[in-house]
Structure 1
């Protein structure tokens, strides 16, 4: 008899009672046969933990002592969870009853598949892909991230155009399936990131270790998005710029690191100037702070992950061009036109 891999769906919560009231019932209706549900609480100050304890006694609760963001919060909680596969699920995601089975089946088909994501659609526009993952994450040669079905702020309608299983560069952290052994082998999330880009960094390290990252269209979830920091928030912009630079420094092949970061520096200056002339001085200040703190971090950075150096061009889910050039100047705003 086939034994199902054990799966732990772990929801990281911070003051998310409203989301838990709305979306936890759908997670509890999951039909997978070897499943545990875990709420990892990041020192919430609302009554979300009491709500779950009172209404969902089957959900295990792990209380983190402080709010160390997405990266630190999951690292802390997952040290206390035993399962073959972790499913890291945002608190603002609605799922369908059979959403776990197709992804697990895909992962079982090849032990080299370390991480996987379902199709991510928008909760408020359910026929469209959602920003935070769409149909799988890609990255260009300068470290700009985008998705099949979403480039920058342009999302596509789901018309079945991405209904094929595909290797991708990164899988969304909003609904991330990952083998627990692989998660711990490459060191988990980087706590220095706090939030944003940590899943891209993790998937990059997984590929460097020889694993695959995949997209599974047979599973579909619906994500609200922007639950912690909405788009356009200067804090979000700061974290995205800072963490992207840190990720590039950590993971790029030593032969490519300086030329890529040199090009990014000038493009990021243009982005800061554009913010200023567009009447968004707080955005320009956020980019400046990101560079300041990136340089401070780099002075003290110690490589904790002894992973092989791999040329970016040899990895899956990498666009061998500059995404923002084709998006802004060539007006190619759909994935099929970009690639």
Structure 2
């Protein structure tokens, strides 16, 4: 099937041999040539490379010797890309029929769009979060569930009832399409972010440079939510807090960063104590409470130890010696 739009696809992979094939197959089914599919691998130790070599000849493989992080891997793919439009797709996501054609139409309809997100759905077709407001320090004080109840139009990220294109503050990085000419204007992803909030900072930067970020509901992508985060829950929480502090320092300013440096460990300690009390009250019968108690404990220790850089997700590339 010939595609009427000009797309390259970048898939960042980390030990994703079990899902990578479905992601690539969905791209080929949408008419993307194998030579326009770029897999950037972050030091996988599984059969990912053999899968691509044997089952998807022509796909471009960029192999890192270690886990370089999402932003750095995306930028490696962007340097390889040649198409006007680039889809950044999780290895645990699959394009549904017509997704790329709808995204292409969205770009044509909105010439100032730099980033466009499709609808994200789970295996049953239920909507997942696809958009998010920009992080702000004061929102860390209130529970996210309360914010969604108070202002669902602003804080609700699923947009399940939205049927027309609309602008959003930022999008979820599981599937997002970008206009390469816009990226050339406001710059690639910030590689200081290892995992989490890199796409959020990118979207906010796009807006500051006069570009727009859109949600295109007619394009749909099936996503197996949080596969990496579920495998490394405590480590993923550490990475989120690290990225949250980095975002505050880079985007919100010194005082927002200083507040969060104090507040995040306090909130973590409160959550840890609450889950400990719940675990004791249930005599350990609540598995979810036990798991959250363990995760918050690891996170609290990370804060109390001064947030060491070597803790977090595994197999990270070491920073070069100064």
Instruction: Identify the TM-score tier after normalising by the shorter chain.
Output: 0.7 to 0.9
In terms of fraction of residues, the more helix-rich structure is 2
Matched, 1:286 2:299: yes
* Separation (CA, whole Å) in 2 of partners of 1:194 and 1:14: 13
1:143 touches 1:248 (CA, 8 Å); kept in 2? no
Question: Could you say what secondary structure the match of 1:128 adopts?
Answer: coil
Residue from 137, 146, 170 that aligns with 2:132: 137
Instruction: Please list every run of 5 or more consecutive structure 1 residues that lacks an aligned counterpart in the other structure.
Output: 296-339
1:61-101 C-alpha deviation (Å, 9 max, x unpaired) = 22234320211222223222222111110011122121011
Residue 269 of structure 2 aligns with which residue? 272
- The structure-2 alpha-carbon separation of the partners of 1:67 and 1:210, relative to structure 1 and needing over 3 Å to count, comes to same
Alignment of 1:1-339 (within 5 A): 6-31=6-31, 36-123=36-123, 126-130=124-128, 134-139=129-134, 141-142=136-137, 144=139, 161-230=161-230, 233-252=233-252, 258=255, 262=259, 265-266=262-263, 269-279=266-276, 280=293, 282-287=295-300, 289=302, 292-293=306-307
Q: CA deviation at 1:56?
A: 1.5
Q: Return the alpha-carbon distance in structure 2 between the equivalents of residues 164 and 46 of structure 1.
A: 41
SS of equivalent residue, structure 1 residue 192: coil
8 Å contact kept, 1:238–1:287: no
CA offset at residue 7 of structure 1? 1.0
Q: 1:232 to 1:215 in 2, by over 3 A?
A: same
| C-alpha RMSD of the superposition | 3.5
Asked whether the 8 Å contact 2:265–2:303 carries over to 1, the reply is no
Cα 1:238–1:101 shift into 2, 3 Å: same
Q: Is the 1:120–1:129 Cα contact (8 Å) retained in structure 2?
A: yes
Q: Comparing 73-82 with 57-66, which one deviates more in the overlay?
A: 57-66
Q: C-alpha offsets along residues 94-117 of structure 1, whole Å, 9 cap, x if unaligned?
A: 221210111121112232110010
Unmatched runs of 5 consecutive residues or more in structure 2 = 277-292, 310-322
**Hey, what does 2:281 align to over in structure 1?**
none
Q: Secondary structure at the match of 1:76?
A: helix
What are the Cα deviations for residues 215-265 of structure 1, in whole angstroms up to 9, with x where unaligned?
Answer: 00010111002222218811111111111121122112x5xx525753784
Name the TM-score, length of structure 1 as normaliser.
Answer: 0.72
User: Is contact 1:119-1:219 (8 Å) kept?
Assistant: yes
After TM superposition, give the deviation of residue 33 of structure 1 in Å. 9.0
TM-score by length of 2: 0.75
CA contact 1:205–1:251 (8 Å) conserved in 2: no
Aligned length: 282
Is the 1:114–1:212 Cα contact (8 Å) retained in structure 2? yes
Verify the 8 A CA contact 2:42 2:64 in the aligned structure 1: yes
Aligned-partner Cα distance in 1 for 2:65–2:119: 33
State the Cα deviation string for residues 20-74 of structure 1 (Å, max 9, x = none): 2344322210146998222222232222112112111132222234320211222
Distance in 2 (CA, whole Å) between partners of 1:173 and 1:83 is: 19
Q: Distance in 1 between matches of 2:195 and 2:54?
A: 29
